[in-house]
Amino acid sequence: MSGEGKVVCVTGGSGYIASWLIKFLLQRAYTVKATVRNPNDLKKTAHLLALEGAKERLHLLKADLLEEGSFDAAVDGCEAVFHTASPVSLQANADPQAELVDPAVQGTLNVLRSCAKVPSIKRVIITSSFASLPYNGKTLAPDVVVDETWFSDPAVCAEQKLWYQLGKTLAEQAAWEFAKNKKMDFVTIHPVFVLGPLLQPTINSSIEILFNLINGAQEYPDAYYRSIDVRDVAYAHIQALEIPSASGRYCLIESNVHFSEVLKIVQQHYPTLHLPKKYGFLIILHAHVGPAI
């Protein structure tokens, strides 16, 4: 489907998934209004400006997740909005409420409030996470299927100090409630660990895990690694827009392998790397001690 003559907005435009989404949207002839923290920071935006079609159909706008009304200009005149902007951290945070939870929840609501003012917007697609599904106290066993009907429990996330998961869960709950009240056409996308080539110049959190394993780690996690290619995730967002019947929640997962298998693949392609030979215990987002999904 061609996006010629259609205007869409992508929040968090300089991010990992968003960069590929913008690339594909431009290839399909969409005009893209992308929000970033600072449009003049070429370290964060040069890779976007270099995309084919960017000169003619990419517009960068400044927006702040925690500032209500900040996204008004970005979504004005659009027929769809992709909200990908949200903080991601796999490390301990000094103030997880302020650094992860509040930006996720309030940022999502601020974007939706801006969207609710624009009658031309036909659909809103939000990049959520698999993190908002399985953290609910249920047992993950080989015969248990995790699907789009699962929701993480905020109480479980808070008790286990899973702050990223808590932020994603509360943000999604707030978004669905808002969309219901406003009768908004709304879709959420829930990828697991996102891997694949980078368009942006900085390493993101999911790639950082692999980077750390090849950069002097002595042990690898005794856990299973759920992953999907970033290009598939970006394309899924476009399908969520272009397929009229798309609705609800979509879980995206391509593979589920033990970290030892991941290292074998890396070793095959890069035999000179010194990789960890033994496993240890390490908490990894979306990784579990068993293969059940």
For 165-218, write each residue's pLDDT tens digit: 999 999 999 999 999 999 999 999 999 999 999 999 988 877 787 788 778 777
Average pLDDT of the residues in 252-256:
92
| pLDDT attached to residue 258 | 86
Does position 289 have pLDDT exceeding 80, yes or no?
A: no
What values do phi and psi take at 101, rounded to 5? -70, -55
Record the pTM: 0.90
Contact call for residues 233 and 173 (beta carbons, < 8 A): no
DSSP 270: -
In whole angstroms, what is the distance from residue 168 CA to residue 19 CA? Answer: 21
In a domain, 280, yes or no: no
| pLDDT attached to residue 93 | 63
Average pLDDT of the residues in 255-283:
82
| Residues 117-134 pLDDT 10s | 999 999 999 999 999 999
In a domain, 179, yes or no: yes
Strands 278-280 and 224-229: unpaired
Average pLDDT value over all residues in the chain: 90
In a domain, 33, yes or no: yes
| 94 vs 21, more confident | 21
| pLDDT attached to residue 151 | 93
In whole angstroms, what is the distance from residue 59 CA to residue 74 CA? Answer: 9
Contact call for residues 151 and 136 (beta carbons, < 8 A): yes
Does position 262 have pLDDT exceeding 90, yes or no?
A: no
**CATH number of domain containing 83:** 3.40.50.720
In a domain, 264, yes or no: no
How many domains in the chain? 1
In a domain, 292, yes or no: no
Q: Which tokens in the block code for residue 243?
A: 């397929």
Q: Which domain holds residue 184?
A: 7-195+228-253
In a domain, 205, yes or no: no
In a domain, 241, yes or no: yes
| pLDDT attached to residue 92 | 55
Average pLDDT of the residues in 264-287:
74
Average pLDDT of the residues in 284-290:
42
In a domain, 90, yes or no: yes
Contact call for residues 206 and 193 (beta carbons, < 8 A): yes
In whole angstroms, what is the distance from residue 252 CA to residue 125 CA? Answer: 14
| Residues 214-250 pLDDT 10s | 787 778 888 888 899 999 999 999 999 999 999 999 9
Name the amino acid, one letter, at 246. Answer: A
Say how many C-beta atoms besides its own lie within 10 A of residue 137's C-beta. Answer: 11
In whole angstroms, what is the distance from residue 54 CA to residue 241 CA? Answer: 21
| pLDDT attached to residue 90 | 55
Q: What is the dihedral of CA 198, 202, 207, 209, to 10 degrees?
A: 170
In whole angstroms, what is the distance from residue 105 CA to residue 102 CA? Answer: 5
| Residues 46-97 pLDDT 10s | 999 999 999 999 999 999 999 999 999 999 999 999 999 987 765 556 788 8
The number of residues in the chain equals 293
State the DSSP H helix or E strand holding residue 31, giving kind and residue range, or none if neither.
Answer: strand 31-36
Does position 8 have pLDDT exceeding 90, yes or no?
A: yes
| pLDDT attached to residue 287 | 41
Contact call for residues 51 and 23 (beta carbons, < 8 A): yes
**Residue 146 pLDDT grade (very low, low, confident, very high; cuts 50, 70, 90):** confident
| pLDDT attached to residue 283 | 46
